[in-house]
Structure 1
Amino acid sequence: MASPPDQLESSVVLLKSGGVIAHPTDTCYGFACDISNKSAVERLYALKQMSLDKPVSILVADLAMARRYAQFSSRALKFAERYWPGPLTLVLPRTPHLPEHLNANHPTVGIRLPQDRFSRELARLLGGTITTTSANLTTQPSPYSPDEIEAQFASLPLKPDLIVDGGVLDRSVRPSTIIDLSGTEPRLLRQGAIQIDL
């Protein structure tokens, strides 16, 4: 295990080479990989034992990067300006810049600009964006410490290439709130860390 911010550069090197890393976020620990690398995305799904039909969200360094991969309506921009950076995932229509292999057959993408600097720097230094999904097996609870990640994957052949040790995170922090803004009316898909009444 490695601790931030010491391992920022080595994390980026691993991501660029197709690795999958576990890192602390502003909610729980998450798995990151390079969204432009198809084999890395496939490995992420295999690592989590997750169905390829299930979409994965992406994490960006800034709003400009978000607008490259998703179409922002005026309503979506208002949500982003009010709640970003923070634990809010916006589900928006995808743009042609989003790799076809990511969330294939899904016209939308979940996108988030996190509060924590380490996650944003990962995306920025990678020069694109990264996946954001909890660093766990699909059937297991979200992890809030490196020990929990190690325990879940200890007996399995597939393991994350690196666990960035950010210590034990606050378990009272809920997952990100998810709002679908791809249609004519906003839909609350998950009430999470940010309380939003539509």
Structure 2
Amino acid sequence: MREEHEKAIATLKRGGLILYPTDTVWGIGCDATNSEAIEKVYQLKKRAESKALICLVSDFKMLQQYVEEIPEVAYDILKYAAKPTTIIYDDPIRIAENLIAEDNTLGIRVCRNKFCNILLKKFRKPIVSTSANISGAPTPRSFKEIDPVILEGVDYVVNLDREKKSLSPSAIIKLTNDGKVSVIRK
């Protein structure tokens, strides 16, 4: 696993794209602070930039570095969530501009997958995570279902968990600084 972390981090540091197993589905990832790398993700997925991407962080400490103000309820939601949960926060900071939605929000998930968590801690920055499919196509349920265009379009494919079936995508909850909570995806 150590070699996979090193190769993925080297790719991320040079602005490349990785294909990697997450706590939900196989994801396309890049450095969430690198706008050129994020642009490559949009191009590979053939996705409109108006459709926001999410990113992963390793823990609450990293989360606090990239969100201006975290509503108190976020900690409870994440602590008691039965499945991986992405929260959309107001006012992200220190993130590439083209990752931030038009309403100045960003979806962030504290990742509980061992590989991803170590990767995030060693990389020391959030990593973009978007499903490994062309925009509009079904989300692959396993590595074998990933479109060859995606496989060829990334700079590094992590060589772990290729036989494992993916879980379902994360729940998505939007929290605003004024206390509104909206469930976007269960």
Q: CA separation in 1, counterparts of 2:155 and 2:143?
A: 13
Q: Which amino acid aligns with 2:155?
A: D
TM-score, length basis structure 1 = 0.84
Partner of 2:143: 146
Assess if the C-alpha contact under 8 Å between 1:34 and 1:41 holds in 2: yes
Question: Which structure has the highest helix share of the two?
Answer: 2
Partner of 2:26: 29
Alignment length (residue pairs): 183
Which of 155, 166, 171 matches 1:161? 155
TM-score, length basis structure 2 = 0.89
- Kindly report structure 1 stretches of 4+ aligned residues shifted beyond 4 Å: none
TM-superposition CA deviations, 1:173-198 (whole Å, max 9, x none): 3210011111532111001xxxxxxx
Does 2:168 correspond to 1:170? no
Partner of 1:194: none
Q: Percent identity over the alignment?
A: 30
TM-superposition CA deviations, 1:4-58 (whole Å, max 9, x none): 4531101000000011111111211001100111110000110111001111111
What are structure 1's unaligned runs of at least 5 residues?
192-198
Partner of 1:108: 105
RMSD (Å), alpha carbons: 2.0
Assess if the C-alpha contact under 8 Å between 1:144 and 1:168 holds in 2: no
1:144 alignment partner, SS class:
coil
What are structure 2's unaligned runs of at least 5 residues?
none
Change (3 A) 1:145 1:170: closer
Assess if the C-alpha contact under 8 Å between 1:68 and 1:95 holds in 2: no
Shift of 1:82: 2.6
Partner of 2:179: 184
Partner of 1:196: none
Does 2:84 correspond to 1:90? no
